[in-house]
Amino acid sequence: DAGVTQSPTHLIKTRGQQVTLRCSPKSGHDTVSWYQQALGQGPQFIFQYYEEEERQRGNFPDRFSGHQFPNYSSELNVNALLLGDSALYLCASSSNRLDRLTNYGYTFGSGTRLTVV
């Protein structure tokens, strides 16, 4: 059973460019959340997608946008990249349908390491 798959694993971009990161959730999961993890810090919540809509958003500017497709996969787009956007971007999937008592917890991918130069 495949877990969460993220692509690409590493990416180098120049300031001002745009980037798209991709995530395929764990089989059976229908909800995708994105997190940004700067070096030496815990992950910070960007937003969550369910039923192809943004359900909740963290404290990130509008340069960060996303999309969820009918097959539950998701994309994270970042426009006008800044040096401070350099981080590990993590995708986490979960199920909104299974019993929460037996399905707490999120499954994280290995992340995309984004470096902005």
> Do 89 and 111 contact (CB within 8 A), yes or no?
yes
DSSP, collapsed to helix, strand or coil, labels residue 2 as coil
* Least distance between other proteins and beta carbon 16 (Å): 27
* Stretch of residues binding other proteins (CB under 8 A), selected from 13-21, 55-63, 67-75, 76-84: 55-63
Q: Of these, 27, 41, 79, 115, which contacts other proteins (CB under 8 A)?
A: 41
Cα–Cα dist 117/101, whole Å: 44
> Do 91 and 31 contact (CB within 8 A), yes or no?
no
23 binds other proteins per the rule CB under 8 A = no
Pair type for strands 112-116 and 10-13: parallel
Query: Given the rule CB under 8 A, which residues bind other proteins?
Result: 4, 33, 35, 40-45, 48, 50, 55-56, 58-59, 90, 92, 101, 104-111, 113
